Amino acid sequence: MTTRMMKLPPERLTPRRLRALAAASLAVTFLFQLRAASPVAESMIPALPQVYATESPAAEWNAQSFDSIIRRDPLEALRLAHQDHRRSVHDYTCTFVKQELLPSGLSPEQVISVKFRARPYSVMMHWLRNADKAERVVYVQDRWVDAEAADPAERDLAVCQPGPIARLLVKSLKMPIRGSLARMTSRRCIDEFGFDRSLELLIRYSEIARQRGELSLAYQGESEFGGRPTYVIERRLPYNGPGGIYPDRVAVIHLDRERRIPLCVRCFADDERSSLLGRYEYRDVDLSADLPDNAFDPAAYGM
């Protein structure tokens, strides 16, 4: 790009052309920074069959309390929590705290204000700490699509707002939420955010491991997280690195006792829990939010 610019006659380097070139350069830089610093990225989950059922027998749910079920069969309790959440929760707001092990090393702790809606699947994220180049990301399922993308992984887009300095050149950019680069730079994608998807992934891998005779899933007792009483479940899988079937060796899950949502999931690569793979925390959760459509309209945030 620099060589071609030097060959242009001076009169062709108009202010408008310079702004366009700067915006294009910024877009490339922003893409790399965003993928490394935000959940707008493809997870490293392999394509595995859907092997669990999200519905559980109503008779068993009514006959036994959730408290006794989670002690006897934590996987069944996760299924019931997932079923109940899908039925009863549609919108919510929260503060999302995450930290992940990336190829470049352990990321800094990110603090993100989130608005979520289940139908259509919609997420608005506003970075409050360690935002890097991305301050906001808005994703609405099937709203922004690159129909001409050669790679299906590049089809779905999110609207991304850079920081205040970059916004002098470009107000927002539409970026693919998944792809080959994303798979290398983040463990999760924005369309994997939320309690529903977290429970789904926990159940999915637990079912796969149970069918293979490799699952250890145990109730660990009661605790608290963020001032909320929780059940604690520990899952162990035969994790053998990022190229294997399973996402982690040990996962410690804090399930809200009243609302039955995973308030905190910490994933480790080793039995001693010394090698963190990912930490995902939900704080200040408001499940009663009734979010208007403009909560997921980029124009409402100057994007």
Reported as a single tens digit per residue, the pLDDT across 289-300 is 989 999 999 999
pLDDT for 183 equals 59
- Please report the pLDDT score of residue 208 as a whole number: 97
pTM above 0.85, yes or no: no
Across the range 102-110, mean pLDDT stands at 89
Q: Residue 36 — pLDDT band, cuts 50, 70, 90?
A: very low
pLDDT digits (tens, 9 = 90+) for 227-279: 999 999 999 999 999 889 999 999 999 999 999 999 999 999 999 999 999 99
Q: What percent of the chain has pLDDT over 70?
A: 76
Q: Is residue 299 part of a domain?
A: no
Q: Is the pLDDT of residue 22 over 60?
A: no
**Mean pLDDT, the chain, integer:** 81
pLDDT score at 34: 40
Asked if the structure places residue 30 within a domain, the reply is yes
Query: How high is the pLDDT of residue 152?
Result: 82
Tell me if 202 sits within 8 A of 235, measured CB to CB: yes
Total domains present in the chain:
1
The torsion of the CA quartet 141, 44, 283, 84, rounded to 10 degrees, works out to 60
Q: Is 144 a domain residue?
A: yes
The predicted model gives 60-88 an average pLDDT of: 87
Establish if 253 belongs to a structural domain.
yes
**Among the listed residues 44, 86, 40, 67, the one whose alpha carbon sits nearest the alpha carbon of residue 193:** 40
Q: Is 51 inside a domain boundary?
A: no
Reduced 3-state DSSP string for the chain: CHHHHHHCCHHHCCHHHHHHHHHHHHHHHHHHHHHHHCCCCCCCCCCCCCCCCCCCCHHHHHHCCHHHHHHHCHHHHHHHHHHHHHHHCCEEEEEEEEEEEECCEECCCEEEEEEEECCCCEEEEEEEECCCCEEEEEEECCCCECCCCCCHHHCEEEEEEECCCHHHCCCCEEEECCCHHHHHHCCCCHHHCCHHHHHHHHHHHHHHHHHCCCCEEEEEEEEEECCEEEEEEEEECCCCCCCCCCCCCEEEEEEECCCCCEEEEEEECCCCCCCEEEEEEEEEEECCCCCCHHHHCHHHHCC
Query: Do the domain assignments include residue 11?
Result: no
Is residue 296 in some structural domain? no
Whole-number pLDDT of residue 64:
58
Percent of the chain residues past pLDDT 90, beyond the cut: 60
Residue 197 has pLDDT above 50, yes or no: yes
Instruction: Residue 122: give the domain boundaries.
Output: 16-42+64-288
Q: Which of 4-18, 57-71, 163-177, 276-290 has the lowest mean pLDDT?
A: 4-18
Answer yes or no: is pLDDT of 170 > 70. Answer: yes
Q: Is residue 50 part of a domain?
A: no
Q: Which of 8-22, 38-52, 97-111, 172-186 has the highest mean pLDDT?
A: 97-111
Residues 28 and 115: beta-carbon distance below 8 Å: no
Q: How high is the pLDDT of residue 128?
A: 95
Domain CATH for 148: 2.50.20.10
CB 143 within 8 A of CB 166: no
